[in-house]
């Protein structure tokens, strides 16, 4: 990247929430209205309505660093740029990629006007639909081994089980890596026992939403795809049967 910095530009790295417009914060809606350029993965850019004066730059998955460099360059050119992620931009999304690109880009780029604006993460949206599975201490792990060795994932799963955290898993399963999630389920069954609660929250707040609550003993790898947020309870997590479906919650106290 090169060139003079046009001080009129700004960059906002925002979260669009899990899908429903009613979950987009007014802060994010305001910067989308003021933007000249929206940058992101195609399906997320498609969530921003076209209008005169707005250029939408959709790019492919796994293009995060190139996309971040493009956003920095547009900002340096004086554009008002919004980088969109689903959910929250800081949770396995574009904010980290943007700062990786900024750090590599050299000191003259560090005067750019940059802000990160939070969004409702898939984890929080899934938690709300289920009840309160994250009502006590928890952890959040990306199960994709695109950017880390599978051994690191297994080690974290073991330690998370030992710590008795409730667990939220992003990117449990893709067509390219169908076997990892089966191994994760087997490891968790061994570590937590077959009665431990697990929930599959798919595409929460969209028309494709589906929720499934079961146990590690009954869970099948096919219950998850890349649009599923998987939650495994702690040893204290409970299920309340109700006419409209079960609630899942983790009590506030632990002994």
Residues 29-58 that bind a second copy (CB under 8 A): 30
Spatial contact of 170 and 200, defined as CB atoms under 8 Å apart: no
Contact call for residue 132 and a second copy (CB under 8 A): yes
Round to whole Å and give the CA distance between 8 and 6. 6
**Residue 143 Cβ, how far from a second copy at the closest point, in Å?**
10
Contact call for residue 160 and a second copy (CB under 8 A): yes
Nearer to a second copy, 175 or 252 (CB): 252
Residue from 2, 26, 52, 60 binding a second copy (CB under 8 A): 26
Q: Give Cα 220 distance to the centre of its chain.
A: 22
Round to whole Å and give the CA distance between 212 and 227. 13
**Residue 132 Cβ, how far from a second copy at the closest point, in Å?**
4
For residue 129, give every residue at least 6 positions away whose Cβ sits within 8 Å of its Cβ, in sequence order, or none: 201, 204, 209, 211
The token pair at 188 is 């968790």
Residue from 79, 134, 201, 223 binding a second copy (CB under 8 A): 134
Q: Categorise residue 10: left if φ over 0, alpha if ψ from -120 to 50, beta otherwise.
A: beta
Residue from 47, 56, 59, 142 binding a second copy (CB under 8 A): 142
Contact call for residue 184 and a second copy (CB under 8 A): no
Contact call for residue 209 and a second copy (CB under 8 A): no
3-state SS string for 165-202: CEEEEECCCECCECHHHHHHHHHHHHHHCCCCEEEEEE
Nearer to a second copy, 40 or 89 (CB): 89
Contact call for residue 131 and a second copy (CB under 8 A): yes
Contact call for residue 75 and a second copy (CB under 8 A): no
Strand 37-41 and strand 113-117: the pairing is: unpaired
Nearer to a second copy, 17 or 198 (CB): 17
Residue whose C-alpha is closest to residue 98's, from 66, 62, 58: 66
Residue from 22, 52, 53, 207 binding a second copy (CB under 8 A): 22
Residue from 38, 79, 83, 91 binding a second copy (CB under 8 A): 91
Round to whole Å and give the CA distance between 175 and 61. 14
Nearer to a second copy, 45 or 141 (CB): 141
Contact call for residue 108 and a second copy (CB under 8 A): no
Contact call for residue 247 and a second copy (CB under 8 A): yes
Residue from 9, 19, 40, 118 binding a second copy (CB under 8 A): 118
């Amino acid at each position: 990247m090169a060139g003079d910095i046009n001080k009129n530009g700004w960059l906002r790295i925002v979260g669009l929430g899990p899908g429903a417009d009613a979950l987009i914060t007014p802060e994010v809606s305001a910067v989308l209205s003021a933007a000249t350029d929206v940058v992101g993965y195609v399906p997320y850019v498609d969530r921003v309505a076209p209008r005169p004066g707005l250029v939408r730059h959709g790019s492919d998955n796994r293009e995060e660093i190139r996309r971040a460099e493009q956003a920095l360059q547009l900002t340096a050119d004086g554009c008002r740029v919004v980088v969109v992620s689903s959910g929250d931009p800081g949770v396995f999304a574009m904010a980290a990629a943007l700062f990786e690109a900024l750090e590599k880009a050299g000191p003259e780029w560090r005067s750019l006007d940059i802000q990160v604006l939070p969004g409702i993460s898939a984890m929080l949206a899934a938690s709300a639909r289920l009840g309160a599975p994250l009502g006590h201490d928890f952890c959040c792990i990306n199960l994709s081994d695109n950017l880390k060795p599978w051994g690191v994932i297994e080690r974290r799963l073991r330690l998370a089980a030992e710590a008795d955290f409730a667990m939220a898993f992003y990117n449990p399963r893709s067509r390219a890596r169908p076997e990892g999630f089966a191994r994760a389920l087997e490891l968790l069954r061994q570590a937590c026992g077959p009665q431990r609660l697990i929930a599959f929250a798919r595409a929460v707040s969209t028309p494709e939403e589906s929720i499934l609550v079961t146990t590690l003993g009954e869970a099948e790898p096919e219950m998850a795809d890349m649009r599923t947020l998987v939650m495994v309870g702690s040893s204290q997590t409970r299920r309340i049967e109700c006419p409209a479906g079960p609630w899942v919650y983790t009590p506030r106290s632990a002994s």
